[in-house]
Structure 1
Amino acid sequence: MEKLLKVSSSPHVRDGVTTQRLMFDVVIAMIPASVYGVWQFGMNALLVLIATVIASVAAEYLYEKLMHKPITISDGSAVVTGMILALNMPPEIPVWIPVLGAFFAIIVVKQLYGGLGQNFMNPALAARCFLLTSFALFMNNFSSAKLGFDSLTGATPLAQLRAGETVDLASLVIGRIPGTIGEVSVIALLIGAIYMVVRKVISPVIPLIYIGTVFVFTFLFGGFNLTYSLSEICAGGLIFGAFFMATDYVTSPLTPKGQIVYGLILGIVTGIFRLWGASPEGVSYAIIFSNLLVPLIERYTLPTAFGKGGQKK
């Protein structure tokens, strides 16, 4: 009985796109940021990437095996979760911390809610927030030896902006800054983002509205300083979050109007966190908060069915 198909009325659209192909494209899109992060921060960054991906896949396999469920590791979603989580880690973090985060992401946030398509928030970001709360000292340590350059120490660009200091925009765009493994190079992230848009893996609506809203918000409430607003866009995990996490199919709205509202909420909440929050970074918490609002957003932005909604005479 569980194999019975529930078919809606016509018309039907046939599409050859599979979950595996979509996930494979996302993995490809994250390769430029991964390569740059490893080149800049060294072998521990590579070890964190490999270990976190392996831990994510292992967690999914072990849970499904123990629960006697179909094994779904071949769909690639666990690999994507592992890569996103790893790229959100400081480069010198002890490897066991992101490994623990991977098990939390896959088992607690994804599998306990029914697996792929059932989780109500982004598993990788939920795990990052869990690690930020549990291991704040390690998660906020961005000191690292930079390959080919001087030592990267001191405050992140967002912390410098919060302190009223200026940062070099060129360094932000190239990635010659402290930060997490995958967030530092705007160029590398945009290469991956363009690839996903061209491949139609994501729509640019949510990322562009998100980034644009943060720009306007920080310009209006940050002293009408264009350089400051551009620095807020390029610093931290905003571009990474906008293209690779806020666009998650499961935790973002499907309705066109809902995507606009979602992007606006993301930008406003991120701006509030960054300008007046306890921490200068607000992307992870903003996306998690907005994920929780998605059911409400979709409820009020559903298109009116054809033939309904008109005034009765």
Structure 2
Amino acid sequence: MSLLHVDSVNDTPATLTQRPTNTPSIMAWVLIATLPGIAMLSWHFGWGVLSNIIIAGALGVALEALVLSLRKRPLRPALADNSALLSGVLLGAALPPGSAWWLITIGMVAAIIVAKHLYGGLGHNVFNPAMVGYALLLVSFPARMSLWPPASGLFGSDAISLGQTLANVAGQTSLATLDALSGATPLDAFNHKPKGLMASEFWATQPLPDGMLRAVQQVSLAWFIGGAFLLIKGIIGWRIPLSLLATLFIGASVMFATDPSHQLGPVLHLLTGASIFGAFFIATDPVSAATSQRGKLYYGIGIGLLILIIRSAGAYPEGLAFAVLLMNLAAPLIDHYSVPRAYGHSARQDRKPS
């Protein structure tokens, strides 16, 4: 996740002077903003959240240093900006808690080496690095990527112990055992609902482990607190998060009103998946996102629509990673047609290459 270029298309001098422009400080503020979400995830899902983040963050820094050495680039400036660490934190937070070290390693190699440095490094990546790593893992290891533990907490008799977490991380726990210990998330459970079963009947069966629904909703609210902090600090703008979440909410409302028996409600779409996490921490990456004011709105709308389509009609219960990557491809085209015409020039003149 690179936040080197805080976009300035259509910005006024006032907004440019109010927002942080130093890359290390920007990364530091984003890392701080992830703390509420990480804390709530850890509180509900245990030590595996922290193991994910520590391993992914360390791998991000190590892989960054390795590639920079191979490219004969100076290490200190690149490592000091914390962009690789941030990619690791975001990917680690998105993975099922207690993921095996080799799974995290594959994801981070895809994020740092493939998605970032093969395109030239920080500021040149076409795709969001963290989402490239996540999408690769989701397609390659769908069974392991669905193994979310029940919301048994960080402490207590039902919580997964630190020792068991370390065994999972080391790869010593079989897939069958992990599957037996895991619990369905709301989106995953609803996605596998029998077609003939009404939504009201489905929820009446209590298909989720105890506390799961409450846990994922509280995690989403914690990510919202971190996102609001980034908005207040001026690290991100409001257009992408608002357009993404509004599109998802309005679209889900229309679908739910049309067929309430077989569609997920709009509030559940917002609070039971990665919608808020993605809206504030993933989609707002200014390197891979659209940069003009209108373009950001179109970009957010596109991601919201794609998330809704993938969740409703696709094979995967969560569509954030695929939606972001598809809109990353569209971002240059969106910017090309959404940058306002300069005064005294025709639209055709403005679109000619300089």
User: How far apart are 1:284 and its partner, in Å?
Assistant: 1.0
SS at match of 1:159: helix
> Are residues 195 and 172 of structure 1, via their aligned partners in 2, closer, same or farther at CA, if it must alter by over 3 Å?
farther
| Aligned counterpart for 1:84 among listed residues 90, 100, 114 | 90
Q: Give distance in 1, aligned partners of 2:83 and 2:97.
A: 23
The residue number in structure 1 matching 2:167 is: none
Q: Give the deviation of 1:38 after TM superposition.
A: 2.0
Q: Which residue is 1:263 aligned to? A: 300
- Matched residue pairs, number? 293
1:239-250 alignment, distance < 5 Å: 239-250=276-287
**2:256 aligned partner, one-letter code:** G
Say whether residues 1:139 and 2:148 are aligned partners: no
| 1:49-79 deviation line (CA, Å, top 9, x unaligned) | 1010000010001110121012201111111
CA pair 247-229 structure 1, distance change in 2 beyond 3 A: same
Segments of structure 1 that go 5 or more residues without pairing to the other structure are 1-10, 178-182
What residue is the counterpart of 1:102 in the other structure? 108
Shift in Å at residue 161 of structure 1?
3.0
Task: Select 1:118's aligned residue among 119, 124, 133.
Answer: 124
2:246 maps to 1:212: yes
Q: Which residue of the partner structure matches residue 27 of structure 1?
A: 31
* Cα-Cα RMSD: 2.5
Distance 1:160 1:194 in 2: 30
Separation of aligned partners in 1, 2:144 and 2:38: 20
Cross-structure match for 1:232: 269
Q: Do the aligned partners of 2:243 and 2:297 also contact (CA within 8 Å) in 1?
A: yes
Residue in 2 that maps onto 1:55:
59
Q: Indicate which of 17, 22, 45 corresponds to 1:18.
A: 22
1:66 aligns to 2:70 (yes or no): yes
How far the C-alpha of 1:217 sits from its partner, in A, is: 1.1
The verdict on how the C-alpha distance between 1:310 and 1:157 changes in structure 2, with shifts beyond 3 A counting, is: closer
Equivalents in 2 of 1:39, 1:12: separation in Å? 42
Superposed CA deviations along residues 155-194 of structure 1, whole A, max 9, x for unmatched, are 21012333233389xx678x524xxxxx961221111011
> SS at the partner of 2:183?
coil
Counting only pairs closer than 5 Å after superposition, residues 29-48 of structure 1 correspond to structure 2 as 29-48=33-52
The one-letter amino acid of 1:121's match is F
1:12, CA displacement in angstroms? 8.5
CA contact (8 A) 2:185 2:212 kept: no
SS of aligned partner of 1:222: helix
> Cα offset for 1:263?
1.2
2:222 aligned with 1:188: yes
Deviation at 1:145, TM superposition (A): 6.2
Q: 1:223 aligns with which of 257, 268, 286?
A: 257
- Tell me by how many angstroms 1:39 deviates: 2.3
**Number of the residue aligned with 1:284:** 321
CA contact (8 A) 1:47 1:95 kept: no
Quick one: structure 1 residues 184 and 135, their matched pair in 2 at CA, closer, same or farther if it must change by over 3 Å? farther
* Matching residue within 248, 253, 260 for 2:290: 253
Task: Give the conservation status (yes or no) of the 8 Å contact 2:60–2:87.
Answer: yes
Q: Which deviates the most, 48-57 or 224-233?
A: 224-233
- Shift, 1:102, TM fit: 1.1
Tell me if structure 2 keeps the 8 A contact 1:125–1:288. Answer: yes
SS at match of 1:297: helix
Structure 2 residue aligned with 1:160:
189
Paired residue for 1:180? Answer: none
* Residue-by-residue CA offset, 1:79-108 (whole Å, 9 max, x unaligned): 110101001100132122112211221111
Output the amino acid matched with 1:108: V
CA distance in 2, matches of 1:161, 1:12: 48
Partner amino acid, structure 1, of 2:337 = Y
Report Cα offsets for 1:129-164 as digits up to 9, x if no partner.
011122222111113462257578432101233323
1-structure distance, mates of 2:224, 2:110: 29
Q: Normalising to structure 2: TM-score of the pair?
A: 0.77
| RCO comparison, higher one (Cα < 8 Å, 6+) | 2
What is the one-letter code of the residue matched to 2:271?
C
| Secondary structure at 1:203 match in 2 | coil
User: What is the deviation of 1:310?
Assistant: 8.5
1:241 Cα shift?
A: 0.5
- Per the TM alignment, residue 201 of structure 1 is displaced from its structure 2 partner at its CA by 0.4
Q: Which moved more, 1:228-237 or 1:16-25?
A: 16-25
